[in-house]
């Protein structure tokens, strides 16, 4: 598999998905978040304690949806969501998902932890920054604390689409020190996946129409088996 999606093309594809087939943002977020939860469930046992770190953008929204599904699966998620959603259509979407999580009695906290310890959590879901974030400008509070905790923890980290702080094409270019154990690529792996050295790499986001996959040269992506929302990628899928 030699199908990678650059930052520019990934942004373009998201726009086209919401124009051509008519997906809404909440549809895409729901499918992405479900695949993230399924990937965690493929590796960590039910009832595992999952710390879900969510940023202010769509990556964070995927994390919120994943937390809800994980709770239904039987896991014990705790959400860290340091920002307040804006009073916009997109912001109200995040507010709604947060309320759904609270209605399931998922703890939602604003204050980022300064330390993430194995005595408290079994896995950390990194849904802080996605492919639109520019790490060259550094991390503003409170996400500077979030990134410090992520880079220093010994608890296994599972990153959504892009390990937070990584350059989309060049990996850990800015020296964030984040070395996730799992990467869940969405739609298609981004070029930084070539630098991923963790044990588990999955592809999720089962919503790409075949004609669009062909238009973006993504026909080399592996097929999702049966009713699965994820497919495991091996080293040959990320290092070519």
Binding-site positions for K(+) read: 59, 126, 164
- The strand pair at 157-160 and 182-186 is best described as parallel
Report how far residue 7's alpha carbon sits from residue 94's, in angstroms, rounded to the nearest whole number: 23
Binding residues for (6S)-NADPHX: 58-62, 161
**Distances 205 to 37, 85, 141 between C-alpha atoms, Å:** 11, 24, 30
Phi-psi region of 201 (alpha: psi -120 to 50; beta: other; left: phi over 0): beta
168 within 8 A of 6, measured Cβ to Cβ: yes
Alpha helices (runs of H) in the chain, residue ranges in sequence order: 7-17, 25-43, 58-73, 89-103, 143-152, 210-215
240 within 8 A of 208, measured Cβ to Cβ: no
Binding residues: 58-62, 126, 161, 164
> Token pair for residue 148?
């410090």
Q: Is the peptide bond before 188 cis (omega within 30 degrees of 0)?
A: no
- The 8-class DSSP code of residue 74 comes to T
Which residues are paired to 127 by β-bridges? Answer: 54
Which residues are paired to 53 by β-bridges? Answer: 80, 126
């Amino acid at each position: 598999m030699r199908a990678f999606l650059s930052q520019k093309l990934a942004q373009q594809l998201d726009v086209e998905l919401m124009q051509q087939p008519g997906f809404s943002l909440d549809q895409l977020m729901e499918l992405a978040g479900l695949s993230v939860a399924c990937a965690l469930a493929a590796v960590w046992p039910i009832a595992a304690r999952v710390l879900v770190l969510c940023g202010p953008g769509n990556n964070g929204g995927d994390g919120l949806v994943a937390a809800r599904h994980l709770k239904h699966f039987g896991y014990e998620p705790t959400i860290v969501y340091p920002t307040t959603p804006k009073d916009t259509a997109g912001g109200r979407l995040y507010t709604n998902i947060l309320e759904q999580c609270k209605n399931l009695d998922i703890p939602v906290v604003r204050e980022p932890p300064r330390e993430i310890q194995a005595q408290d959590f079994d896995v950390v879901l990194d849904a802080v920054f996605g492919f639109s974030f520019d790490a060259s400008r550094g991390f503003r509070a409170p996400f500077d604390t979030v990134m410090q905790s992520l880079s220093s923890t010994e608890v296994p980290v599972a990153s959504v689409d892009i390990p937070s702080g990584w350059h989309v094409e060049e990996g850990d270019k800015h020296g964030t020190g984040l070395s996730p154990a799992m990467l869940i690529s969405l739609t298609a792996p981004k070029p930084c996946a070539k630098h991923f050295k963790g044990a588990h790499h999955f592809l999720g986001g089962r919503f790409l129409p075949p004609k669009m996959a062909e238009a973006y040269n993504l026909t080399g992506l592996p097929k999702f088996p049966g009713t699965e929302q994820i497919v495991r990628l091996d080293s040959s899928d990320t290092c070519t």
